[in-house]
Amino acid sequence: TMGEDELIALIHALNPENEEGRLNLIVRMGASEIAKYYPPLLKKVRDAGLNVVWTIDPMHGNVEKSSTGFKTRDFDNILSEVEQFFAIHQEMGTIGAGIHLEMTGNDVTECTGSTSCAITAEGLASRYHTQCDPRLNANQALELSFMLSDKIGGTDK
């Protein structure tokens, strides 16, 4: 919901000397909103010559309630938001510098989707262990990592 001028003012307040590496801005808009709201913000910051590190958090903008009542996140939406983030940076000639994921090495069923697990809304209850936010399990996190590597410049082709 932050406007372009509000973001510029915040950046000036938090990094008045425009030091490189001092400020990390975390984008968490959701797969359905990032293409609409992120490019104007990124363009304004880029054109103002402000030094920020851009990171994507595709987890928080993609929370949904499943048909079975569980709080979940859909793998395809997480992947889509990350792909859009890097595509927007490529179009703007800027650098997306990082990704934040909520994940666990445990074999949980908290996020739906992916080809490695194919967790459905009905399957969430089998190993839903989170006390707070749904996490990708180890297989989903690895699958996402390999898919992103292929899309954003993996060298092993």
pLDDT in tens, 58-84: 999 988 888 888 887 888 999 999 999
Give the mean pLDDT of 75-94: 94
Helix, strand, coil shares of the chain, percent, nearest 5, are 45, 15, 40
Q: How confident is the model at residue 120 (pLDDT cuts 50, 70, 90)?
A: low
* 8 A C-beta contact, residue 102 and residue 72: no
| pTM, 2 dp | 0.88
What is the rounded CA–CA span in Å between residue 84 and residue 90? Answer: 10
Domains of the chain, start order: 4-151 (3.20.20.70)
